[in-house]
Amino acid sequence: MNTTNQYDQVVNNCREIFIKKAHDYGTSWRVLRMISIVDQIFIKALRIRTIQELKQQRVADDIAGEFKGIVNYAVIALIQIDKGIFIVEDLSVEEATRLYDEKTELAKKLMEDKNHDYGEAWRDMSQESFVDLILVKLLRIKQIIANDGKTLISEGIDANFADIINYSIFALILIAEGKH
């Protein structure tokens, strides 16, 4: 299976979870401020790191499930960047799904461009590295938020979330291949 097909398969799995949760909870996530989304992803990434280090877990949710959650929260962040924060649910499941598809397509395009230039170097990376890179991106986002969204030379919040999506998808592809 090639990377594009694997990528699409992972996105479809994450998308299915996103849609089911949207049916169960609506788009209640629309109230989340950017820092809250960052913190949700941070908690998930730290849990993965703790499981990696302790080589055990007590809560049933597995590492793959946490990476899927990171993908979905990062997509939510990209939607919130465009739509802004809203105090009431204002998106239908259909509209939220359309926006989800739009954001994952942007992340996929970024992945394809980087894979072209880097030659799929991610295939030789460890799951631990993906988690560490996600944590670095989150700390960068926190700093950009503290700077009122302004950067002097660095990419913005949206590019960092797109990278987080891709790192998580790469980890999920490698998990599916039995490499992690």
Report the chain (180 residues): mean pLDDT per 10 consecutive residues: 94 98 95 97 98 93 96 98 83 96 98 94 96 98 95 94 98 94
The pTM of this model reads 0.96
Give the domain range for residue 14.
3-176
Domain total of the chain: 1
Contacts of 43 (CB under 8 A, 6+ apart): none
- Region class of 55: left (phi > 0), else alpha (psi between -120 and 50), else beta: left
Per the CB < 8 A criterion, the answer to whether 11 and 173 are in contact is no
